[in-house]
Amino acid sequence: MTFEQRVQDRTAVIGVVGLGYVGIPIALGFSAAGFQVLGLDIDADRVAGLNAGKSLMRHVPDEQITAMLARGFEATTDPARIAEADALIICVPTPLDSHREPDLSFVTGTMDALAPHLRTGQLLSLESTTWPGTTEEVLRPYIERAGLTMGEDFYLVYSPEREDPGNPDYTTNTIPKIVGGTTPACLAAGLALYGTAVEQVVPVSSTAAAEMVKLLENIHRSVNIGLVNEMKVVAERMDLDIFEVIDAAATKPFGFTAYYPGPGIGGHCIPIDPFYLTWKAREYGLHTRFIELAGEVNAAMPDYVIDRLFRALNTRGKAIKGAKVLALGIAYKRNVEDMRESPAVLVMERLRDLGADLSYSDPHVPRFPRMRKHRFEMTSTPVTPETLAAQDAVILLTDHDDFDYAMIGQHAPLIIDTRGKFRDGGDTVVRA
């Protein structure tokens, strides 16, 4: 029986490698489409939690994990079991190293673990964001060293993830899926696989083209966010409300897309992915000035927020050192618990280093999580009139819907607003 036939009759087993913000929605999607799904992760606690029906993410309720388990889902830490799967979907992190260069150690570590268990008839799909050429240059040699022939007895594709955690308007099966194959047969197998779980599958000519698509999507956002962040700084000097300006510009029915400024950029894509292309472009003797400039503007925003706080406290005869400062919202975007690359963390670190008496409140992050680069031993502080009144300043960093903005505006003595939620706050509000 061919791979496509096993997919069409739902006898194919889907292996998802990396059970995080990307892997879990993919697993749920294929499970709902009628497949048995096997999950693999190196985190034993995560695996145990999933097998017990516990979700790792607030926007994915436990009931969805329980239902997936009832349909045959199982999570494991044993890479040898991946031989049971017909399709292997890799959803592991691709961060930057300390020199802001691509770190593929999670991908290569995964392939090192999987390589001894690859077999005839499988399809391997990489969903992690990376530079154009990675699938061919890094993954293909693993398969060939295993004695497998591309497009004949093994299929290799690249299909970039497009997850937007916490967005209720789009799900894994409704977001169009880009697929590029190493050979025409690989592409056909990839289209057959994803076509069973996603409403629209978009083929491209190669894995490198698919890799570039993902980078273009995120660079587009990074550049436009950098633009509005720079516009915010200019508008503040002119005593203009940048959010009023953007909202008015957004009434134009063509030629304008609204992007909104903030304290920086966060998440697993926008702060990282553009630098994968700048790194690869150097191989071709190119300097991607536009991309790097946007990165510089966005990276400077946490310091801009601190400067606005410094000036606001100074006019009140107060230094940052010793000032009681409450950070409101520390996730990278509203209404999620995702802390990856959150600019709020950078603001908090700068405040800590300057000697502020720092606390935070985030209904989605009850305890500051363990992170690779950042460490705080803190728990979320309840937002009450008494808590607010006791602060010297409150910084709104992530505009969760759960916050009572009217109450905050009434009781906080000073608000540094990075999200445009306090448009008529009078003398107690500083836009940042």
Which residue numbers are catalytic?
A: 269
| Contacts for 318-322: CB closer than 8 Å, 24+ residues apart | 318/392, 320/351, 320/354, 320/355, 320/356, 321/354, 321/355, 321/356, 322/355, 322/356, 322/357
What span, in angstroms and rounded, lies between the C-alpha atoms of 221 and 75?
A: 34
Strand ranges inside 271-421, DSSP E: 324-328, 357-361, 393-396, 415-417
Tokens of 190: 């990839």
Determine the residue type at 83.
A
Tokens of 83: 């031989």
Residue 148, classed as helix, strand or coil, is: coil
Tokens of 416: 């540094």
Residue 198, classed as helix, strand or coil, is: coil
Q: Which residues contact 315 (CB under 8 A, 6 or more apart)?
A: none
Within 10 angstroms of residue 118's Cβ, the number of other Cβ atoms is: 19
What span, in angstroms and rounded, lies between the C-alpha atoms of 394 and 416?
A: 6
Q: How many CA atoms lie within 13 A of 359 on its CB side?
A: 17
Q: Please answer whether residues 277 and 291 qualify as being in contact, where contact means their C-beta atoms are separated by less than 8 angstroms.
A: yes
Strand ranges inside 257-414, DSSP E: 324-328, 357-361, 393-396
Tokens of 299: 């990276």
